[in-house]
Amino acid sequence: PDLDTDAAAITASGITFGYSVKKTDDKVTGFKTNVKAHFYPDKSWYKPEKVNDTILMHERLHFDITEWHTRLLRQKIAALKPSQNVSLELEKLYTTMSQTLRETQNAYDAESDHSRNIEEQFLWQKKVAAELKTLEAFK
């Protein structure tokens, strides 16, 4: 735990992304991607004396938000067609989604006041659950 912060817990997560492009006669004929929501246990922590079930639930939702954006990225990738610019398009999608994920995580913390605003926390739980359900095909 980081003793220099008031935080009771931190969940470190992100989207891992990789791809390969298939070419025939210098023409892009296909591509494969690997997109995963990743939890970083070595960078995540909690202070036992400060944490409770509400805080742990709040932290869990941070990972669920990462999964939501991972599925969104998979959805956007599924719409891509092989082209000479596919590498650039994939990189741009990943960069944009990573930024959107950061903004969403920050909005979640701000609006829920790091779990202290119970009403907002509940609204976020409903919103994230609905988004995950909508994107079930991209699990």
What are the pLDDT digits (tens) for 41-84? 999 999 999 999 999 999 999 999 999 999 999 999 999 999 99
In our burial notation (b when 16+ CB lie closer than 10 A, e otherwise), range 50-76 reads ebeeebeebbebbbbbbbbbbbbbbeb
Task: Let me know if residue 96 belongs to a domain.
Answer: yes
Rounded-to-integer distance, Cα 106 and Cα 50, Å:
21
| Sign of the four-CA dihedral 103, 76, 60, 3 | negative
Domain carrying residue 131: 9-138
Q: What is the rounded average pLDDT for all residues in the chain?
A: 97
Has residue 4 been placed in a domain?
A: no
What total number of domains does the chain contain? 1
Task: Match 């869990």 to its residue by tokens.
Answer: 60
Residue 2 in any domain: the answer is: no
Query: Residue 67 and residue 37: Cα distance in Å, rounded?
Result: 5
Q: What is the model's pTM?
A: 0.94
pLDDT at 2 over 90: no
